[in-house]
Amino acid sequence: MLDNFNFRIIFEYLPLFLNGLKFTFLISLVALFLALITGIIACACRISSIKVLKYPVIAYIEIIRSTPLLVQIYFLYFGLPTLGIRVPEIQTGIIALMLNSGAYIAEIIRAGINSVDQGQIEAGLSSGLNYVQRMRFIILPQALGVTVPPLLGQAIVLVKDTSLLSLISVVELTRSGQTMTSERFMPSEAFLTVAFFYMCIYFCLKALADWSQRKLIFREAY
Amino acid sequence: MMAFYFSRLVEIFPFFLTGLWMTTKVAFISLITCTLIGFILGMIRASNNVLLKRLVGIYVAFARGTPFVVQIFIVFFIFPEWGLQLEAFPAALLAMAIMGSAFVCEIVASGINSIPKGQWESAASSGLSKMQQLRLVILPQSMKVIVPPLVGQYVLLIKDTSVVSVIGVMELTRVGWVTVVRIPEGLMVFALVGVLYFSISYPLILLSNYLERRMAI
């Protein structure tokens, strides 16, 4: 099956792969950070009672959730230039990932907040806390414990999703596999190496997610 | 110019419908295969056979740990080296089956594991065989836990069919990609593609929400 698997060529191309890995890391980190901010803002709008904020955000979340990420990436990639906005591919990709993950993160946070028992809020009310104080001292500390494992799950999804940016010619891990294939036509060496690197990232994040599921905080809230 | 491109887009609309049909076909076939294989694997994963369990675990880790694009490339470019040459369409179906059944497997396994041990024991003491215990006692109860996330997973699988456009399957995303070369209105073309995807997956999202509420304990 793999009798003529050529390790030498992998070592020869290792700098290419490491460069790809570096960009996958960078893109994931930046996109995750921005998506967290987007998600928090979107969630705040989603649970607010102001209709002007609430309904557009609902539309945003539902649209993102029911269309594929690849279509969203192409939409921005081919669409932004027609609006006269010219940005590099990598930024287009990060914006697409940010919008996509932001919607999912908003839903995750909302599920966390909803999981806090109604009685807790009433207890806060009767202790004379205002909305911000209730959020700060009662709801968010409890919601956080429920939110962290699925957020790490979303981080795993986000890292895998960065591979789609290779299709709009952003240089990252999958792209370096494609580059090597087109230069040497050795797809098994190229893509199995790429898969190996993704697996490494996956196992690290998975271990972190499992750990947070076991360890994380505020269990006594249930 | 906008109006001109719009009328071109209306002219070309049947082309999008063929893409939609292809997407539906890929999605439908792979949903069925993923469910079948996923249920079998999930039962193995929740069983007591250590060796088989490990093997399925490795497979699931691979399928969940690598991006779908990479898996498609592996199926389309590497399997031929191992003696399995496939056209784009069967390759897409195979890649979807590999990826999707791993996710279904995890859902089924966690559903089966959510049933208390006592149920197995009482089924065994009623004289049911291992297979009967699973089929008559455990699975019907775990369906409550399995079905809502399963429908959610179906939505994700339908969306993932967009990725098979990279190996040239003429489905919706690919149609959009081909069209945008001729009609350079990216916003309009991909908004249309998005609307068509929305029309398939939004009903399923609503169904998933409904099932989640309905089946909540």
- The residues, ordered by sequence, that sit 6+ positions from B110 with a Cβ below 8 Å of its Cβ are B145
For B77, the closest of A160, A181, A199 (CB atoms) is A181
Mean pLDDT, rounded, for A50-74: 93
Beta strands in chain A (DSSP E): none
B112: distance to nearest CA of chain A, Å? 20
Give percent of chain A above pLDDT 70: 95
Most A CBs within 10 Å, among B71, B76, B77, to test the A interface: B77
Would you state the pLDDT for residue A2? 64
Q: Out of B74, B190, B202, whose CB is closest to A195?
A: B74
Do B179 and B15 form a contact (C-beta atoms < 8 A)? yes
For residues A173 and A198, is the Cβ–Cβ distance under 8 A?
Answer: yes
For residue B158, what are its two tokens?
A: 């339908």
Chain A closest CA to B121's CA: distance in Å?
28
Q: For all residues of chain A together, what is the average pLDDT?
A: 88
pLDDT digits (tens, 9 = 90+) for A100-154: 999 999 999 998 888 888 888 888 889 888 888 888 888 888 887 788 888 999 9
**B 179-208 residues with CB below 8 A of A?**
180, 184-187, 189-191, 193-194, 197-198, 201-202, 205
Contacts of B65 in chain A (CB under 8 A): 198-199, 202-203, 206
CA angle A44/A141/A221 to nearest 5° reads 125
Q: What is the pLDDT of residue B194?
A: 93
Query: How many domains in chain B?
Result: 1
Residues 103-162 of B with CB under 8 A from A: 155, 159-162
For residues A167 and B166, the answer to whether their CB atoms sit within 8 Å is yes
Phi, psi of B171 (to 5 degrees): -100, -170
Q: Do A181 and B184 touch (CB under 8 A)?
A: no
Cβ-defined contact of B205 to A192 (cutoff 8 Å):
no
Write out the two tokens for B189: 């073309």
**Which residues contact residue A159 at a Cβ distance below 8 angstroms, ignoring those fewer than 6 apart?**
A24, A28, A198, A201, A202, A205
CA gap B217, B184 in Å, rounded: 51
**For B155-184, what is the mean pLDDT?**
90
Pick from A75, A167, A188: CB nearest B191: A75
Closest in B78, B82, B187 to A82, CB measured: B187
Q: Is the pLDDT of residue A70 over 60?
A: yes
Residue carrying the six token digits 């997956």:
B201
CB-CB under 8 Å, A75 with B186: yes
User: Residue A75: what pLDDT?
Assistant: 93
In this prediction the pTM is: 0.89
Instruction: State the average pLDDT over residues A9-31.
Output: 91
Tell whether B74 is within 8 A of chain A (Cβ). yes
Compute how many other C-beta atoms are within 10 angstroms of the C-beta atom of residue A4. Answer: 8
Chain B environment of A80 (Cβ under 8 Å):
186
Domain segments of chain A as ranges = 7-221
pLDDT at A4 over 80: no
CB-based contact B137:B145 (threshold 8 Å): no
Note down the domain range covering B177. Answer: 2-215
What percent of chain B shows pLDDT beyond 70?
99
Give the burial string for A198-213 (b: 16+ CB within 10 Å, else e).
bbebbeebbeebeeee
The answer to whether the CB atoms of A75 and B190 lie below 8 A apart is yes
User: What are the tokens at A49?
Assistant: 């009672």
- C-alpha distance from A188 to closest chain B C-alpha (Å): 5
CATH entry, A7-221, from 1.10.287.610, 1.20.210.10, 2.40.110.10, 1.10.3720.10: 1.10.3720.10
Q: What CATH number corresponds to the domain at position B199? A: 1.10.3720.10
The confidence band for A217, taking pLDDT boundaries of 50, 70 and 90, is low
Cα–Cα distance measured from residue B171 to residue B162, given in angstroms and rounded to the nearest whole number: 7
Contact residues, chain A, for B173 at CB < 8 Å:
68, 70-71, 74
User: Which residue of A62, A68, A82 is in closest CB contact with B162?
Assistant: A68
Sort out which chain A residues have CB atoms less than 8 A from B187's CB and list them. 75, 78-79, 82-83
Nearest CA distance, B123 vs chain A (angstrom): 31
ipTM of the complex: 0.90
B75: distance to nearest CA of chain A, Å?
A: 10
- Quick one: average pLDDT of A149-178? 91
Nearest to B149 by CA among B93, B216, B196, B98: B216
Cβ separation A71–B194 shorter than 8 A: yes
Is the alpha carbon torsion for A43, B206, B64, A5 positive or negative? negative
Largest CA distance in chain B: 76
CA distance B109 to chain A (A): 17
Q: Which of A131-140, A154-163, B193-202 comes out lowest in average pLDDT?
A: A131-140
Selected residues 4-33 of chain B with any CB under 8 Å from a CB in chain A:
none
Distance from CA of B209 to the nearest CA of A (A): 12
State whether the Cα torsion A204-B71-A175-A85 is positive or negative: negative
Task: State whether B65 and A161 contact (CB < 8 Å).
Answer: no
HSE, side-chain direction, 13 A CA sphere, residue B209? 10
